[in-house]
Amino acid sequence: MTVRNLDRLFRPLSVALIGASRRAGAIGALIARNLVQGGFAGAIYPVNPGAFEIEELRAYPDVASLPEPPDLAVIATPPATVPGLVAELGGRGTRAAVVITAGFAEGENAAGRALQRAMLEAARPHLLRVVGPNCVGVMVPGAGLNASFAHIAPSPGRLAFVAQSGAVLTAVLDWGAARGIGFSHLVSLGDMADVDFGDMIDYLDADPDTGAILLYIEAVTEARKFMSAACAAARVKPLIVMKAGRHAEAARAVASHTGALAGADAVYDAAFRRAGALRVYDLAELFDAVATLAMVPSLPGERIAILTNGGGMGILATDALLDRRGTLARLAPATLARLDAILPATWSHGNPVDIIGDANGARYAGALEAIVEDAGVDAIVVLNCPTAVASGIEAARAVAETAARQAGRKKPVLTSWVGEVAAEEAREHFTRHRMPPIARPTRRCAG
């Protein structure tokens, strides 16, 4: 079905919460709070037969009592009730549902699989789209929609993050919130009984509020649909993929988690490459990707310059870049002449630009300015190794100020202050100035 009725899911005019609750800590209470506090401008209808009011909203005893068919229904009731609720909602005109409830196709649960089939059969005549079951929910900050039990509310932004794991989704949300990173969509797919990655990529590809798409995948259920959507989206927007279950033992855990079959990792790897998606391999790389896409404009090209105060680190970064099929920029003669005039005679006289271990802030600033103005350079990676003869935070301030002055050239400047104790203040400085700090310049996604 691809994107059919997904507008009702992500841009609803009204939302019903089936299983709303006033009991502290209950899933239905957390979702009710998030719906109300998210700033959703449409009607919210809590449904609970034992409550008159929830979150200062009138509660309704059942779906039949609702004053109108809601565009979106969020279902947090026991598994056995879900197929009947979907049928009733669909009959009234609801066209999208988020099923929070677990207990369907996970593991070897034959009864749960039967319930999942019944749920889909109930939805099909009405073309009602289902996210889940077994999920955290969906969030569209720009629309004020927080139909989830996430622990914090996201800020609006241009990154969409879609995950099979609710835990990974909330971890990325939490990490981004601490750095002022916002999202256009956060979607927990859970068991993917209906809405899957192919559907989501198709929808987000056409969404003008989404500038980049990130996926946490345990398994792809509709390979042809996924490849078609991914190939189309990757041509116009960055598509970042983290695939879990690479090894047999982890793949077995995937099956028990979401009821999906993880498959051979080499096949997934080839598919991602063919689609033009960038694969990351762990949460650290995923966090780097989130920060980079949130803080850095799109690359105008692939020619990268590396600026460093340590020759060895520059060589490692160059290896990492070329390993990932990146392109090392060839500096123009005029740029080399400018660098000759401001750098010690022992500088590297090429790219990577090694400005020597005693480089202070002024040297970093002068070199960065010359490189940014080179028409043959599309982006710059600036590295710093801690030394006793020069201040890393002074260099960081100089780099941030220079990058801000050159912002009109739209050339991304990425930074990696290597180390831990000595680099912490610099990384915080870069984060405040919307420059993504990468802990290790050799991470796979950094190239």
CATH number at residue 354: 3.40.50.261
226 with 203, same domain: the answer is yes
- Answer yes or no: are the C-beta atoms of 221 and 192 closer than 8 Å: yes
Of the three residues 86, 103, 134, the one that is the final residue of a domain is 134
- Answer yes or no: are the C-beta atoms of 123 and 130 closer than 8 Å: yes
Beta bridge pairs of residue 435: none
Give the C-alpha separation, 303 to 372, whole Å: 12
Name the phi and psi angles at 159, rounded to 5.
-100, 135
260 with 351, same domain: the answer is no
Q: Write the single-letter amino acid at 32.
A: A
Full residue range of the structural domain in which residue 5 is found:
1-134
- The pLDDT score that the predictor gives to residue 248 is 62
178 with 267, same domain: the answer is yes
In a domain, 147, yes or no: no
261 with 386, same domain: the answer is no
In a domain, 140, yes or no: no
246 with 374, same domain: the answer is no
In a domain, 145, yes or no: no
Nearest to 237 by CA among 200, 207, 214, 212: 212
261 with 359, same domain: the answer is no
212 with 129, same domain: the answer is no
323 with 225, same domain: the answer is no
Q: What is the CATH number of the domain that holds 80?
A: 3.40.50.720
270 with 316, same domain: the answer is no
- The pLDDT score that the predictor gives to residue 247 is 67
**Token pair listed for 256:** 């028990």
In a domain, 141, yes or no: no
Q: What is the dihedral of CA 129, 133, 139, 144, to 10 degrees?
A: 60
- The pLDDT score that the predictor gives to residue 118 is 97
Name the phi and psi angles at 116, rounded to 5.
-65, -40
100 with 162, same domain: the answer is no
Give the C-alpha separation, 224 to 226, whole Å: 5
Of the three residues 265, 295, 325, the one that is the final residue of a domain is 295
CB-based contacts of 176-179 (< 8 A; 24+ apart in sequence): 176/290, 176/294, 177/152, 179/291, 179/294, 179/431
In a domain, 230, yes or no: yes
In a domain, 144, yes or no: no
- Listed in sequence order, the residues at least 6 apart from 19 whose beta carbon sits closer than 8 Å to its beta carbon are 27, 28, 47, 48, 75, 76, 77, 100
314 with 371, same domain: the answer is yes
In a domain, 149, yes or no: no
Q: Which stretches in the chain have pLDDT values below 50? A: 250, 254-255, 257, 260, 262, 444-447
In a domain, 359, yes or no: yes
283 with 325, same domain: the answer is no
pLDDT digits (tens, 9 = 90+) for 41-70: 999 999 999 999 999 999 999 999 999 999
Give the C-alpha separation, 435 to 227, whole Å: 32
Task: Look up residue 220 and give its DSSP letter.
Answer: -
Nearest to 108 by CA among 259, 261, 262: 259
- Answer yes or no: are the C-beta atoms of 321 and 328 closer than 8 Å: yes
Give the C-alpha separation, 146 to 149, whole Å: 8
- The pLDDT score that the predictor gives to residue 441 is 64
Looking at the chain, the number of H-run helices and the number of E-run strands are 15, 19
pLDDT digits (tens, 9 = 90+) for 349-371: 999 999 999 999 999 999 999 99
- The pLDDT score that the predictor gives to residue 408 is 73
Give the C-alpha separation, 102 to 92, whole Å: 25
- The pLDDT score that the predictor gives to residue 421 is 85
Domain count, the chain: 3
Residue 209's SS3 state is coil
